[in-house]
Amino acid sequence: MNVLVTGHLGYIGVEMVSVFRAAGFEVVGLDTGLFDECDFVSPPDDIETLSIDLRDVKPTDLAGFDAVAHLGALSNDPLGNLNSSLTYDINLHASVRLAEAAKAAGVGRFLFSSSCSLYGAGGHGFLDEESAFNPVTAYGESKVRVEQAVSKLADGSFTPVYLRNATAYGVSRRLRADIVVNSLVGHAVTTGKVLLQSDGTPWRPLVHIRDIIAAFQACLTAPVEAIWDQAFNVGKDNSENYRIREVAEMVRDVVPNCELAFAPGASGDTRDYRVDFTKIATKLPGFHAEWTLRRGIEELYEAYSSAGLTEEDWKGPRYYRLPTVRGLQERGLIDQNLRRTTPGP
Ligand SMILES: NC(=O)c1ccc[n+]([C@@H]2O[C@H](COP(=O)([O-])OP(=O)(O)OC[C@H]3O[C@@H](n4cnc5c(N)ncnc54)[C@H](O)[C@@H]3O)[C@@H](O)[C@H]2O)c1
């Protein structure tokens, strides 16, 4: 099976490529390499890459693929807030055009990396796939609108699937420090403090990147009728929803000699929701999630410690998406629209 992974040089993508190749899939990537200077410990697999901006993809670029796993995006709220029209151009319009191009090229499966953030400020019950959308950012809104537009393309030969990932954590060769678990462990390892940016009460659904990758892999091989035009919340089980304070306490228990601390001005957080993961556990053939938060924190602690991560490394731009992008702009390597001014990877 030939699979195109967009965003394959990002946090989730680099590890997805390795897992898919080990499972015997032929994998090609598509990415403009915004984070090519951001390796953690070792570089990504060296695979065939289409250095095409998502906004420029044509059906001919997609000929011959059986499936597209679409991860490429401005991947968080701060990046999305950089310029909300760019979030709509890249995350929404380019994603919908990519799906249309995939369908026109005869690609059978289109796996969209959506997000639980489309539930936004969700109240206090468990949100399942039928729950109302309530996005609070341009990023979350873009995920809703892609799902709605791509759903209209579903037919007898085109199977879109919407994988609504919880907030990810875990070790990757393109590590991100701007997501909560990775951040709390990094701060603890490098400073001895588990630094809470909010009052710690908000709920958050969490998932290891390898369980996200397992969900995508299951969608490559599942019978079409099990996944056709379906949304799945991606996470292990309902106990993997945590209050941020519980996460911080677990980090404190795993990382030796550290204590809880509150960042100046720490307050409430509008992102406060719990997600129900029953559907993916019971309805997605071949999917088995394996990671608990505790094991993920232990993995991060081991990886950061053995890499000798310092406070200076940790606070620099390398592992943060927004400062990295700003740095590329300041050096003239990408323009204000995040288009490369030099050849990509
Ligand atoms: N990490 C999470 O917690 C999480 C949670 C839910 C959903 N997601 C979704 O999963 C996907 C991957 O997330 P990630 O954490 O790996 O993000 P990431 O920022 O690490 O990677 C995104 C990749 O997309 C590429 N890209 C961005 N704009 C592009 C363009 N115009 N053309 C070509 N390539 C472009 C970047 O170079 C980068 O390699 C995203 O769609 C994100 O919204 C992530």
Q: And the tokens for 166?
A: 């919880």
> Residue 25 domain-assigned?
yes
Band the pLDDT of 84: cuts 50, 70, 90: confident
pTM: 0.96
Q: And the tokens for 106?
A: 């005869």
Contact 6, 70 (CB under 8 A): yes
Question: Which residue, by CA, sits nearest to atom 27 of ligand 1?
Answer: 73
Question: What pLDDT, on the 0 to 100 scale, is given for residue 221?
Answer: 96
Q: How far is the CA of 321 from the centre of ligand 1 (A)?
A: 10
> Residue 70 domain-assigned?
yes
- Each residue's pLDDT tens digit, 129-145: 999 998 888 889 999 99
Question: Which residues 6+ apart lie within 8 Å of 32 measured at CB?
Answer: 51, 52, 53, 54, 339, 340, 344, 345
> Residue 342 domain-assigned?
no
- Each residue's pLDDT tens digit, 203-213: 899 999 999 99
Distance CA(185)–CA(189), nearest Å, equals: 6
> Residue 261 domain-assigned?
yes
> Residue 160 domain-assigned?
yes
Question: Which residue, by CA, sits nearest to atom 28 of ligand 1?
Answer: 73
> Residue 343 domain-assigned?
no
Answer yes or no: is pLDDT of 288 > 90.
Answer: yes
3-state secondary structure 120-138: CCCCCCEECCCCCCCCCCH
- Each residue's pLDDT tens digit, 24-45: 999 999 999 999 999 999 999 9
Question: What pLDDT, on the 0 to 100 scale, is given for residue 122?
Answer: 64
Band the pLDDT of 262: cuts 50, 70, 90: confident
Q: Could you tell me if the CB of 251 is within 6 A of ligand 1?
A: no
> Residue 111 domain-assigned?
yes
> Residue 340 domain-assigned?
no
The CATH code of the domain that includes 223 is 3.40.50.720
Q: Cβ–Cβ contacts within 10 Å for residue 39, how many?
A: 15
Q: Could you tell me if the CB of 55 is within 6 A of ligand 1?
A: yes
Question: Which residue, by CA, sits nearest to atom 19 of ligand 1?
Answer: 75
| Amino acid residing at 187 | H
Q: How far is the CA of 74 from the centre of ligand 1 (A)?
A: 6
Number of domains observed in the structure of the chain: 1
Map residue 315 onto helix, strand or coil. helix
The parent domain of residue 39 ranges over 2-330
